[in-house]
Structure 1
Amino acid sequence: MKIQFLGHACFLLDDGSCKALVDPFLTGNPLAAVSADAVEADMIFVTHGHGDHVGDAVDIARRTGAQICCSVDLAEAVFGPAGVPAVAGNLGGWIKTSFGRVKLTPAIHCSGVPGCLSCGFLFEMGGKKIYHAGDTALTCDMTLLAAEQVDVALLPIGDFYTMGPQDALRAVEMIRPALTIPMHFNTMPPIAQDGAAFAAASAAAGFPARVLAPGETLEL
C-alpha cells in the first residue's frame, strides 16, 4: 500500500490494483508535484466544492475514465453539469469500491456549493485504514475514529481556513492513528506552518508523524 503526497491536500493512494486520487488541486498549485495531464487515477475522491479541492477532477476523469466519488449534492452541483458521472454518497455511509470500501466522514467547513456539506474519507484499502480529514475544524466526532484503528491520518494543519497545528494535535489525540501526515499548509501565505514542528509535537505526545514533501511516497 503506497501513499504519495502530490501537494496541498492531494494524495494518490495505490494498493497495486487501484489508484485512488484525492482532492486533485494541481493546476495553479505552486507546490504540485505533478501536472494534471500526467497523473493517472482509477477513482477520484473530492471532499468539497472549493477550487483547491475539486481542482482538476473533471479533466482528469475525462482523460483517464476515472470514477469520481463525492457527496450527492456535490455530484449534482459540479460533476453532473460537467457531464462526468459520479458515485454519490452521504455522510456516515460506506461505499463499496474495487479496492474495498470508503466511508464519508463529517467535516466542519464551508463547502463552496450552497447547501452542500463538506466531508472527509475513511478508506479501507490494501489492508489499511487511511483517514483523509478534508478541510475541517476540530470536532468531537473525531473521537469516534479511535475505534477504527486508523493506520494513517491525513490532517490539515494550516490554520486560517482549517484547524491549525494545536487543534490538529488534539485531533491526533482523539483519533489515535498509528501515523499522522500533515497536509493543507504552506501552499499560500495565510496557511504557512512548520510541518516539522507539528510532527515533533505529535511524536512527543506519543503519536508518530511524518511530513511528506510533494512527490514523496510512503509505503505502508
Structure 2
Amino acid sequence: MKVSYHGHSVVKVETATQTILFDPFISGNEACDLNADTIKADVILLTHGHNDHVGDTFEIAKRSNALVVAPNELAEYLGNKGLRTHPMHIGGKHTFEFGQVKFTQAFHGSAYTQEDGSTVYTGMPAGILLTIDGKTIYHVGDTGLFSDLKLIGEMNDIDIAFVPIGDNFTMGPEDALVAAKWINAKTTVPVHYNTFPVIEQNPDTFAEKVSVGEGKAMKIGDVVKL
C-alpha cells in the first residue's frame, strides 16, 4: 500500500486494487501536483464540508463513479447533487470492500459555500481512521487540540497520522506536537499549512520536534509505503 501527500490536506492511498483520496482540494491549490481533470478515484473520504476539503469531489466522483464517504449531512448534500455516497458519523465505523473506516471527533466548523455564495451547513467535522490490511492511517482533519486524541492513540495502533499545523484555522505547531505525542503514531506528517499566507509554517521544524515515533515532513508527491 502506498500513501502519498499532495498539499494542504490532500492524501492519496493506493492499494493493489483501489485508489482512495482524502479531502481532494486540487483546483485552486497551487501546492497540489494532481490534475483534477484526469485523476481517478474509487473512494473519496471527506473530513468536513469546507470548500478547501471538499475541493474537486464533484468532478472526480462524477467522472470516476467514486463512492464518497462523509459525515451524514455532508453525504446527504452530495447525494442530492447526484453523487454516490455513504453517510457516517462520529464514533461509527463501517467495513467496506477496500477497508474499515471509522470517524472520530474534531473541533472545527463545517459548511459548504455554493457558487451563488450561499452557505449550506454540512454537519459535524471529523477525523478519519482508515484501516487496510492491518495498517491504520489517521487523517486528523481540521481541528484544535483536544484531550481525546490521547484516547484515540491508546485505542488504535496508528501507522501514520496526518496532523494539521497551520494555526489560525486549526491547531498550530505547538499544539500539534502535543497531539502527535498523544496520537502515538509510528509516523506523524504535518498537513494544512502554507496554502494561504495566514497558515504559513515550517514543516521541517515541526517534524524535527516530534517526540514519539518519526516526524516526517512529506514533500508534494512524496510516497510512504505501509
TM-score range, shorter chain: over 0.9
1:48, CA displacement in angstroms? 0.8
Measure, in 1, the Cα distance between the counterparts of 2:152 and 2:61: 30
Structure 1 residue 3: Cα displacement: 0.6
SS in 1 for 2:68: strand
The residue aligned with 1:216 is 222
Which of the residues 188, 193, 217 maps onto 1:185?
193
Aligned to 1:14: 14
Deviates more, 1:10-19 or 1:152-161: 10-19
Q: Matched residues in 1 for 2:76 and 2:62: separation?
A: 17
* One-letter amino acid of the structure 1 residue matched with residue 186 of structure 2: A
Q: How far apart are the structure 1 equivalents of 2:63 and 2:24?
A: 14
CA contact (8 A) 2:3 2:224 kept: yes
The CA deviation string for residues 146-201 of structure 1, in whole angstroms up to 9 with x for no partner, is 22011101000000100011111000111111110110001110000000000001
RMSD: 1.1
Counterpart of 1:199 (choices 202, 207, 216) is 207
CA contact (8 A) 1:7 1:31 kept: yes
Separation in 1 of the partners of 2:36 and 2:187?
A: 28
Q: Quote the residue 1:96 is aligned against.
A: 95
Q: Give the match for residue 152 of structure 2.
A: 145
Contact 2:14 2:20 in 1 (8 A): yes
- Once the 2 structures are TM-superposed, how far is the Cα of residue 115 of structure 1 from its aligned partner? 6.3
Deviations 1:123-148 (A, max 9, x none): 00132011001101111110112220
SS of 1:173's partner is helix
Distance in 1 (CA, whole Å) between partners of 2:40 and 2:106 is 27
Question: Sequence identity, in percent?
Answer: 39
Distance in 1 of aligned mates of 2:172 and 2:213 = 17
Q: C-alpha deviations, 1:27-65, integer Å up to 9, x for none?
A: 000101111112221100111111100000011000011
Deviates more, 1:192-201 or 1:34-43: 34-43
- Aligned-partner SS, 1:40: coil
Equivalent in the alignment of 1:123? 130
Q: What SS does structure 1 have at the residue aligned with 2:6?
A: strand
- Verify the 8 A CA contact 1:75 1:86 in the aligned structure 2: yes
Figure out how many residues of one structure are paired with residues of the other and give that number.
217
Structure 1, gaps ≥5 residues long: none
Match of 1:7, SS state, is coil
Q: What amino acid sits opposite 2:144 in the alignment?
A: A
State the Cα deviation string for residues 108-128 of structure 1 (Å, max 9, x = none): 001124361001100001320
Q: 1:171 to 1:41 in 2, by over 3 A?
A: same
Quote the offset at 1:91 in angstroms: 0.5
SS at match of 2:35: coil
- TM alignment of 1:23-34, pairs within 5 A: 23-34=23-34
Secondary structure of the corresponding residue to residue 180 of structure 1: strand
